[in-house]
Structure 1
C-alpha cells in the first residue's frame, strides 16, 4: 500500500490539539491541499484555526521536490508566524517524517513532523518545535482525506 498523503493531489481535513508547556491544550482544525505541478514538484497549502488562547490562524505554504526514487524530499515553506522555513523529509513504508529549521531566526528553532498512515484515507499527525534545547510546543491530530 502506498501513501496517499503528500504523494497524491487532494484535500485533507485536520482535527487535533496544540499543546504548550504549562498551558491548557487548544483545539485545532484545518485543511491541507496538495497539488503536483510537474513530475517531481509539489505544493502544499495548510490553514489551521486555533482555539481562543492563540492567534486566529496559521497558514503554511510549501513548495517541494521529490527525488527520483520517491523516498526523499526537500522543501521551502512560508510560515505565517515564523517566516521562511527549510526542511527535508523521508517517506517510509508506514510513515512520512520531516524535519525543518527556521531561516534567519535570532534563536535556533527546529522541528519535526510525523504522518503515520492508519489507512489509505487517514493519518495520525504529531509535530514538535524545539527552541534552543527546549521543546516549545507540540501539535497532534488526525488527517482525513476529503473524497
Structure 2
C-alpha cells in the first residue's frame, strides 16, 4: 500500500486518548497539516486539545493543548529520514523515521534534557484515508505517557 499520510500534502483530523502514568485516560481531538515545501523537505504541524474538566482521581484536570511542529528531509527513493521537532511543552528534539509497507515509525530524543526523555510514534495505515497513531514518551527505561488515536483525511 502506498502511504498517503506524511508523504503527501494534506490535512487530517485526529481523535484519541491520552494516558499518563498512574492516571485515567483523557480524550483529545486535533488536526494535522502536512506540507511539502521543497522537493524532499516536509513540514507537519499537529495540534491536540483536551476537553475541559475531565475528572482525574477525584479532581478535575485542565491539560493545556499541545502543538507539535516537525520539519524533515526524506531523501529520494529512501525509506529512512531525519527530522527535528519542536513541541509547545518541549524544545530541541531530533528524530529519525522509517517508512515500511504498512507503517511510518518515528523515534525521537529530547536534547539537553537530564531526564533522558525520548519517544516514539507509529502511524499504521488502515486505508488511504485512515491511519492509527500510537505514541509514547519515556524517561530512561520508564514510560511516562502514551497516546493513541485515529487519523482521518480531511478534504
Residue matched to 1:59? 67
TM-superposition CA deviations, 1:40-74 (whole Å, max 9, x none): 00010011102442432000111100022141111
Would you say 1:133 and 2:141 are equivalent positions?
Answer: yes
**Residue 82 of structure 1 corresponds to which residue in structure 2?**
90
User: 2:62 & 2:19 partners in 1: Cα distance?
Assistant: 11
Number of matched residues?
A: 147
Question: Is the deviation greater in 51-60 or in 28-37?
Answer: 51-60
Q: Deviations over 1:5-40 (max 9, x none)?
A: 000000000000000122110011000000001110
Distance 1:48 1:130 in 2: 19
Task: Give the equivalent residue in structure 1 for 2:58.
Answer: none
In the TM superposition, what is the alpha-carbon distance from 1:97 to its structure 2 partner? Answer: 0.4
Distance 2:117 2:84 in 1: 15
Partners of 1:76 and 1:54 in 2: CA distance: 28
Match of 2:111 among 103, 121, 126: 103
Q: SS of 2:92's equivalent?
A: strand
1:18 and 2:24 correspond: no
The Cα RMSD (Å) is: 1.0
Structure 2 residue aligned with 1:145: 153
Say which structure is richer in strand.
1
Q: TM-score, normalised by structure 1?
A: 0.96
Unaligned runs of 5+ in 1: none
- C-alpha displacement of 1:83: 1.1
Q: State the TM-score, normalizing by the size of structure 2.
A: 0.91
The whole-number CA distance in structure 1 between the counterparts of 2:44 and 2:69 is 6
| Corresponding residue of 1:37 | 37
The SS at the match of 2:76 is coil
Tell me how far apart the structure 2 counterparts of residues 72 and 133 of structure 1 sit (CA, whole Å). Answer: 25
Supply the distance in 1 between the matched residues of 2:80 and 2:51 (Cα, whole angstroms).
Answer: 34
2:76 match: 68
Which ranges in structure 2 are unaligned for 5 or more consecutive residues?
53-60
